[in-house]
A and B are shown apart, each in its own frame.
Chain A
Amino acid sequence: MTDETEITLTVNGTEHTVEVEPRRLLVHAIREDLDLTGTHIGCDTGNCGACTVLKDGEPIKSCLMFATQADGAEILTVEGMEDLPAADDDLHPLQEGFREEHGLQCGYCTPGMLMAGKALLDENPEPEEDEIREAISGNLCRCTGYQNIVRSIEYAADELDARAATDGGAVAAADGERSADAGGEADTFCGLEDCCGGPDASGGDHAGDQFEREYLGGEET
């Protein structure tokens, strides 16, 4: 079974059948078997994100997956961006954003950044800056300092939004904002002296639950 197996990959809408060894990485299948060299390889460790593609709509690092594991999957690479409806037969608004806002210098990280940005805007068309930074946190850029990459993605979000307004939503990205907030903490105070009470402290003696946390300021993450 170390022999080659036949797999089917639908890349940028085109179905390809390729023969791969089990050890063949998806990124090598994309670059070498399909000759789509827009997807880059920047590391051996899974840190850099240059190899990011969308597999069935989700961003993944194609260097951390074997090609056999993508058998039957739909893959989007940077080469497919211009064929997306939002590109309008030209550059995709994300690509346009990187051009307008100088979101690249050497360009090595750019394909991965574009795919990470695409995944973000599909799920969250109006991201805040911290959400953009989180979305590209698996992508390293050694040139730009990230500021302009963030601006580029903001540009694309605005552009897509403006078009959606004129098109009545035809090219609007899918909805579905991830909730970033974890847990349900609330500062609740009962108003009674020396008793916690509080809206959710119904019944029972809660006096013992009191504690202060003022000594712990700030967030470490």
Chain B
Amino acid sequence: MKSAPFEHYEPTTTNEATSLLESLDDPTILAGGQSLVPMLRFRLANPDVVVDINGIDSLDYLREEDGYLKLGALARHADVEDSDLIDERYGSFADTAPLVADPQIRNRGTVAGSVAQADPKGDWGSVLLAHEGEIVAEGPDGERVIPADEFFLLPYDTTLGEDELITEVRIPTPEPREGSAYHKLKRKTGDYAMAGVGARLVLDDDGRIETAGIGMTAVDITNAQATDAEQHLEGERPSADLFETAGELAAEASNPESDEHGGADYKERMVDVLAQRALGDAAERAGAVRRKVTQ
């Protein structure tokens, strides 16, 4: 089906975009279009006005700055996938990018658009939650920084205002002993997650877990944080036993629904397993070293 007719604007600066969003009636932002275009075609979205932000070159970046890894609103999944900086320093981002959709969609879809879409099956929201990430939005009252854990409300619903533009998503740059990872279970390559878990661990000088972050995909009404599991990890030394309990706590915190891909029980069990794997990778990448079990 064709989408309903709409008016179409192509701002080239953030200022131009925000004043359009403020002055127009019920505008919809178009970024990569990989979620919005199908919604328009099914007429699940019927905006009168579409503001295409792809011409705002200043939003096309992925860089470290002021203690953050910053992704401008036009950073595409493929930009993350192809980045050496990401490969070297951000395990969870390097894990996630190639697992999002397929190559064609990764060439167009943006990380910020994916976060704005707030699909509970979207992968990036979980990664942001695990990293204590932030969403930077520009609106009529200027800039607003929204912590990821205050962003997601319901499926496809966030605390972002209708006249606000996400200009950037960001996470703190890694601590000296930090590691992160993302594990995703899907039916076939290119599919949305049946379940996914992102984990971030920061170790102190003594090798204990100083900070733990766990974000979960597709197992609740939004991307969700496994707070109990995080608290259980903090102050402890990484170990298989510890991660086993954390996995169980994450599974308990999850709230999956049965569907054609699997029952709720099965998905909870998968959260447990994926959390253990993500924590294991995160710990290893943080410099914790795997011990050979000989005895």
Contacts and interface: CB of A to CB of B under 8 A. Distances in A.
A65 B108 CA distance: 9
Counting contact residues on chain B (CB < 8 A from A), the size range is: 35 or more
Contacts of B1: 44
Contacts of B281: 183, 185
A196 B284 CA distance: 11
Interface of B: 1-10, 30, 33-34, 37-38, 40-42, 50, 52, 54, 78, 81-82, 87-88, 91, 94-95, 98-99, 101-105, 107-108, 181, 183-186, 188-190, 203, 205-208, 237-240, 242-244, 273-274, 276-277, 280-281, 283-285, 287-293
B288 to A, nearest CB: 4
Contact of B105 (A66, A138, A220): A138
B190 A137 contact: yes
A185 B284 contact: yes
B2 A59 contact: no
Interface residues of A, number: 62
A200 B287 contact: yes
Contacts of B99: 221
A135 B6 contact: no
Interface string A58-73: 1111011110110000
* Binding site secondary structure of chain A: loop
Nearest to B182: A182
B81 A178 contact: yes
B245 to A, nearest CB: 13
Interface stretch (A10-18, A92-100, A210-218): A210-218
A5 B203 CA distance: 56
Given A21-B5, A213-B240, A66 B102 contact: no
Interface of A: 1-2, 5, 21-23, 25, 28, 44-46, 49, 52, 58-61, 63-66, 68-69, 116, 119, 133-135, 137-139, 178-180, 182-185, 187-190, 196-198, 200-201, 204-216, 220-221
B207 A208 contact: yes
Contact of B277 (A198, A209, A216): A216
A69 B88 CA distance: 33
A112 B243 CA distance: 44
15 contacts: A1-B8, A44-B38, A44-B41, A46-B38, A59-B103, A64-B104, A66-B30, A138-B104, A183-B91, A200-B287, A210-B238, A211-B283, A211-B291, A213-B240, A221-B183
Contact of A220 (B8, B38, B277, B290): B277
A2 B5 contact: yes
Contacts of B287: 200-201, 206, 209
B213 to A, nearest CB: 17
A25 B36 CA distance: 13
Report, nearest first, the 6 A-B pairs whose CB atoms are least far apart. Answer: A138-B102, A22-B8, A208-B207, A182-B94, A196-B289, A209-B288
A28 B10 CA distance: 21
A1 B181 contact: no
Contacts of B283: 209, 211
B87 A65 contact: no
Contacts of A44: 1, 38, 41-42
A183 to B, nearest CB: 4
A204 to B, nearest CB: 6
Contacts of B277: 216, 220
Given A59-B103, A64-B38, A179 B184 contact: no
Contact of B240 (A21, A49, A212): A212
Contacts of B238: 208-211
Given A135-B103, A209-B287, A23 B6 contact: yes
Contacts of A198: 289
Contacts of A137: 102-103, 188-190
B190 A138 contact: yes
Contact of A206 (B94, B101, B108, B207): B207
A45 B5 CA distance: 19
A25 B38 CA distance: 11
A216 B276 contact: yes
Nearest to B108: A60
B98 A190 contact: no
A23 B104 contact: no
Contacts of A119: 103
